[in-house]
């Protein structure tokens, strides 16, 4: 029996790499930490450029639509393009994480992808 994939926004592959237990609220950070613990088990993920499991506790999520939808969709497109992926692709989480590490972070492209994010100061260094 194949596991049901976890729906994951492509740009959240970057957010996860830099997560420090800080976020919009205590509920959001607890939820994010729980999602990351689950992803560490290497389940299949299905990539999306829409709201996902992490967005569930975000105060910017209004009826499964992000109030910054255009901005974060651009982040998703950039990550997908750099990683050679597209919305709907399914792969083990670690394979996605490795692509993000190589194609975006090791290539020095994080600032280009999401440098205007309100949380970018957490992702430096």
pLDDT digits (tens, 9 = 90+) for 14-65: 999 999 888 788 888 999 999 999 999 999 999 999 989 898 887 777 888 8
Between 66 and 38, the more confident residue is: 38
Whole-model pTM: value is: 0.91
Domain boundaries, position 11: 6-123
Q: How many domains in the chain?
A: 1
Integer Cα distance of 43 and 39 in angstroms: 6
In a domain, 60, yes or no: yes
In a domain, 1, yes or no: no
Predicted confidence at residue 1, as pLDDT, reads 53
Over residues 94-119, mean pLDDT: 95
Predicted confidence at residue 23, as pLDDT, reads 79
Indicate whether 91 pLDDT > 70: yes
Q: Which range among 6-10, 33-37, 68-72, 81-85 shows the weakest confidence by mean pLDDT?
A: 68-72
In a domain, 48, yes or no: yes
Predicted confidence at residue 65, as pLDDT, reads 80
- 51-60, 63-72, 94-103, range with greatest mean pLDDT: 94-103
In a domain, 42, yes or no: yes
Integer Cα distance of 105 and 93 in angstroms: 16
Structure tokens at 25: 């609220």
Q: Is 42 left (phi over 0), alpha (psi -120 to 50) or beta?
A: left
């Amino acid at each position: 029996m194949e596991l049901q994939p976890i729906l994951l926004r492509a740009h959240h592959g970057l957010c996860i790499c830099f997560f420090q237990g800080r976020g919009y609220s205590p509920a959001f950070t607890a939820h994010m930490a729980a999602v990351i613990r689950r992803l560490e088990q290497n389940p299949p993920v299905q990539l999306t450029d829409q709201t996902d499991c992490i967005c569930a506790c975000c105060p910017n999520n209004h009826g499964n639509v992000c109030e910054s939808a255009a901005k974060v969709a651009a982040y998703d497109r950039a990550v997908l393009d750099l990683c050679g992926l597209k919305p709907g692709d399914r792969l083990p989480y670690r394979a996605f994480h490795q692509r993000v590490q190589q194609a975006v972070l090791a290539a020095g492209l994080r600032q280009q992808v999401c440098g205007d994010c309100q949380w970018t100061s957490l992702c430096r260094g």
